[in-house]
Chain A
Amino acid sequence: MDLFVQLTINGLTLGSIYLLLGISWGLIFAVTRTFHFAHGATFVVAAYFTYLFQQWGQPLIFAAFGGICCAALFGVATEGLLYRYLRRAFATPLVIFIAALGILITVENLIAMGFGTDAKPLEGFPVRVIKIGRVGFNNLHVVMFVTAGVLFAALMLYLHRTKTGKALRAVISNPEMAEVIGIDVRKYFLIAFGLGSLLVAPAAVLVTIERGATPDLGHWAILYSFMPVIIGGIGSLPGAALAGIIVGLAESIGIWKISSQWQVGIAFVVLVAVLLLKPTGLFGFRVYRGKI
């Protein structure tokens, strides 16, 4: 029983990170229909700029703030300086996808050149172990869970209670119609990239505190960014959030009776099972054919 409780706690903390990855990438995809593979690069930028600011003497909290801002700027720049021009040149979704993949690989290599390939830890988080019987976790795991919950709630409030949020939902719902009623779709694309990047950056900081940052972290991040979106249903942010938690729990509890080394495979089993049973995902209402 101890093991089951431990695995459930692990699953919730892991799921919290997947939740942030999922809703951040899901927001960008739902608004812009861009398969933003460079989201992994945003993740790496957030981690390494936080590390950089800390090396320059900033305390963790300010360094994290700086890293999150840099990640948001990076996300906006990929839209403003690349995707926008590719769309204008009538680039196909595949071309945009390849360009985004190129950004991810380029950024990872630049980071490796600049910082080296050894893991970079973030220091200054006062980890406190919480032990109940043989079940153990720590305050960082609690922060992960709380951060994910708060940011998801804030995003939902923003999308439903503010004028900009409602306009974003309009673009998600029907971009052509939104343009007809006077919404500047290009501006909201930028906002979506900025918001999505802002949301993924805290996940990057928290993961780096726990495991350290390496240049290849972006590949892991992008994998777990689109997986919850597809499982939850494209266009449904609550779906992506729930799917993030489900994937985290499934990966963790799934190894209760099988070897832990198959953990990553479990996420893909969940993905395939959901797609077989409900191809639009748990909460998806339609699939954007030919636009992925």
Chain B
Amino acid sequence: MKHRGWILPAIFSLIILFGASAQAQAPKEFKIGAILAMTGAGAWYGQVMSGGFLTAMDEINGKGGIDGIKFKAVVEDHQSGSGAAAISGFNKLVNVDKVPFSFTSFTAPTLSIVPVANEKHVLLLNGGAVGPKLVKASPYLFNNRMLAVMHGVGLIHRAKERGFTKMAALYWNDDAGIGTHKYVEPRWKAMGGTIVAAEAHPLGATDYKPYLSKIMAANPDFLALWQWSKDWGIAVKQAREMGFTKPIMGIEFTPDAAKLAGATADGYEAITDYFDPKGTDPWTQRFVANYKAKYKKEPEFYAANYYEGVYILAELIKKAKAKGGNWWNGKALRDALVEIKKFPSVYGGHIVFNPEDGTCRKKTALFVVKGGDRVFQKYMEIK
């Protein structure tokens, strides 16, 4: 009986100690999720984006991982924009695979998984979607690419610089396209411009003649494209082949779309994230070499964003682990991101996150297409 005084506290202490060590116990592997367009019209994105983060994982895992723990990715398919498919895949990632971190892409699927991410404290990193609604969408959502509205603002400043006043806009009929147009429209008008035609089209449309007919009839000074994927290439090609001779400007450049447009893309101006696969930064060169060895082609900036995302996550893991406690969870990773804010970028230089709204600032530039390839013109300061 006389021992009762110390036995109970000792048992409680053991329980607390055991519990604490179990909480802080490192995972066997860093299992992370990705909700990407692996099938459907946007499957190209899924391939490029997954190629980016798998290349980074191979590099880190090849060096033994982070303190001996390796990355493993579980990829779920949102079928090129389906919110329902995204939620289904994300629920599986959260409830079955128990991931604390997930890559995401496309505006609508990303917005659809945000409530679950908030509830389950899963950190989301988007390196592809550009929709305006992604701004301040969730404390757990961060974007490591510049959003479309910022590129759009850059475009209208460039249009003003070239002395244009009458804009025609052709844009995706979704959050990204409509949102960008609505964001840009009042700013363009405030700059003294007018919008003589505004045509929304479904994602992945292949026949732009109806839209272009109306645009040509409106006689604009230039055509602004708020569209992505291969769509801009087809739109430019069909516009030129219908005899539209006015300047065409957009916020996307991808080599596959440029190939599709062929010689008709010459003169097309794009304001977009500036990732130069031929850049001289040693990290850029290493990424390009490893990506090319794995996929036999040069990486797009989309691949660069997701590649970079893994290294950002690695920094978050190190920071969270150094702080101690239960570190392998979304909240700890988010706290680490909010604290660090500034990370090295595979573009060269740095990427800086704004924890207030989840956006970032990184290299953005004006390009013009010549001979099927984009040619750097100048950096753009976008406010």
Contact call B242/A123, Cβ cutoff below 8 A:
no
Contact of A121 among B39, B213, B260 (CB under 8 A): B260
Given A121-B260, A255-B210, A2 and B44 contact (CB-CB distance below 8 Å) = no
Contact call A14/B260, Cβ cutoff below 8 A:
no
Contact call A6/B201, Cβ cutoff below 8 A:
no
**Total A-B residue pairs with C-beta atoms closer than 8 Å?**
97
A126 to chain B, nearest CB (A): 11
Q: C-beta contact mask, A233-265 vs B, less than 8 Å → 1, else 0?
A: 000000000000000000110010001110110
Within 26-49 of B, Cβ neighbours of A (below 8 Å) are at 39-41, 43-44, 47
Count the B residues whose beta carbon is within 8 Å of the partner chain — how many?
A: 36
A138 to B241, CA, bound (A): 6
Contact call B43/A255, Cβ cutoff below 8 A:
no
Given A119-B230, A259-B200, A10 and B209 contact (CB-CB distance below 8 Å) = yes
A214 to chain B, nearest CB (A): 7
A129 contacts chain B at the CB level, 8 A cutoff: yes
Closest to B170 in A: A260
A168 contacts chain B at the CB level, 8 A cutoff: no
Contact call A138/B217, Cβ cutoff below 8 A:
no
Count the A residues whose beta carbon is within 8 Å of the partner chain — how many?
A: 39
A282 contacts chain B at the CB level, 8 A cutoff: no
Which residues from chain A contact B284 at a C-beta distance below 8 Å? none
Contact call B243/A129, Cβ cutoff below 8 A:
yes
A129 to B240, CA, bound (A): 8
Contact call B207/A14, Cβ cutoff below 8 A:
yes
Contact call A210/B201, Cβ cutoff below 8 A:
no
A: residues with CB less than 8 A from B are 2-3, 6-7, 10, 13-14, 112, 116-119, 121, 123, 127, 129-131, 134, 136-138, 140, 207, 210-212, 214, 216-217, 220, 251-252, 255, 259-261, 263-264
A118-B256, A214-B41, A260-B201 known, 17 other contacts, Cβ within 8 Å: A3-B213, A117-B44, A119-B256, A134-B219, A137-B242, A138-B241, A211-B206, A211-B234, A211-B238, A216-B40, A216-B41, A252-B209, A252-B210, A259-B200, A260-B200, A260-B211, A263-B210
Nearest first, the 5 A-B pairs at minimum CB distance are A136-B243, A117-B43, A118-B256, A3-B217, A211-B206
Could you write out 17 A-B pairs with CB less than 8 Å apart?
A: A6-B213, A10-B209, A10-B210, A112-B39, A117-B47, A118-B256, A119-B230, A127-B241, A134-B216, A134-B219, A136-B244, A138-B242, A214-B206, A251-B210, A255-B214, A261-B173, A261-B201
